[in-house]
Structure 1
Amino acid sequence: MTNGTDENKDRTDGDHVDRLRRQWARELPDLDTEPMTILGRAFRLTNLVRPSIEETFAGFGLDRGEFDVIATLRRSGPPYRLTPTEMYSSLMISSGGLTHRLDRLEKAGLIRREKALHDGRSVLVALTEAGKTLAEEAFRADMASEARFLQALDGQEREALAGLLGKLIAGIEIELAPARRET
Structure 2
Amino acid sequence: MSGRDVVDTIQTAWAERFPELDTEPVAVVGRILRAARFLQEAADERLAGAGLTRTEFDVLSQLRRSDGPLRPGELTAGVVGSPAATTKRLHKLLDAGLVRRAADPQDGRAARVSLTPAGERLVDELLPRQLEADAALLEVLSPDQRRSLAALLRTALLRWE
- Structure 1, unmatched stretches of 5+, are 1-10, 174-183
Distance (whole Å) between structure 2 residues aligned to residue 23 and residue 119 of structure 1: 55
- Structure 2, unmatched stretches of 5+, are none
Paired position in structure 1 for 2:82: 93
Instruction: Report the CA distance between 1:119 and its aligned residue.
Output: 4.5
Aligned residues: 160
Counterpart of 2:7 (choices 14, 17, 41) is 17
Distance (whole Å) between structure 2 residues aligned to residue 168 and residue 120 of structure 1: 38
Q: 1:108 to 1:117 in 2, by over 3 A?
A: same
What amino acid is aligned across from residue 89 of structure 2 in structure 1? R
Paired position in structure 1 for 2:117: 129
- Counterpart check, 1:76 vs 2:66: yes
Alignment RMSD: 2.3
Distance (whole Å) between structure 1 residues aligned to residue 73 and residue 8 of structure 2: 43
Q: Any conservation in 1 of the 2:43–2:53 contact (CA below 8 Å)?
A: no
SS of 1:62's equivalent? coil
Paired position in structure 2 for 1:64: 54
Q: 1:168 to 1:27 in 2, by over 3 A?
A: same
Distance (whole Å) between structure 2 residues aligned to residue 121 and residue 23 of structure 1: 54
Counterpart of 2:16 (choices 13, 26, 29) is 26
Distance (whole Å) between structure 1 residues aligned to residue 111 and residue 6 of structure 2: 48
Range with bigger deviation, 83-92 or 163-172: 83-92
Q: Any conservation in 2 of the 1:56–1:138 contact (CA below 8 Å)?
A: no
Paired position in structure 2 for 1:8: none
Q: Any conservation in 2 of the 1:66–1:101 contact (CA below 8 Å)?
A: yes
Paired position in structure 1 for 2:138: 150
Q: Percent identity?
A: 37
- Counterpart check, 1:52 vs 2:67: no
Superposition TM-score, scaled by structure 1 size: 0.75
Q: Any conservation in 1 of the 2:60–2:123 contact (CA below 8 Å)?
A: yes
Rg comparison, structure with higher value? 1
Q: Any conservation in 1 of the 2:100–2:116 contact (CA below 8 Å)?
A: yes
Q: Any conservation in 2 of the 1:74–1:132 contact (CA below 8 Å)?
A: yes
Counterpart of 1:102 (choices 74, 81, 90) is 90
Q: Any conservation in 1 of the 2:72–2:112 contact (CA below 8 Å)?
A: yes
Instruction: Report the CA distance between 1:98 and its aligned residue.
Output: 3.1
| Greater relative contact order (CA < 8 Å, ≥ 6 in sequence) | 1
Paired position in structure 2 for 1:37: 27
Instruction: Report the CA distance between 1:165 and its aligned residue.
Output: 1.3
Paired position in structure 1 for 2:101: 113
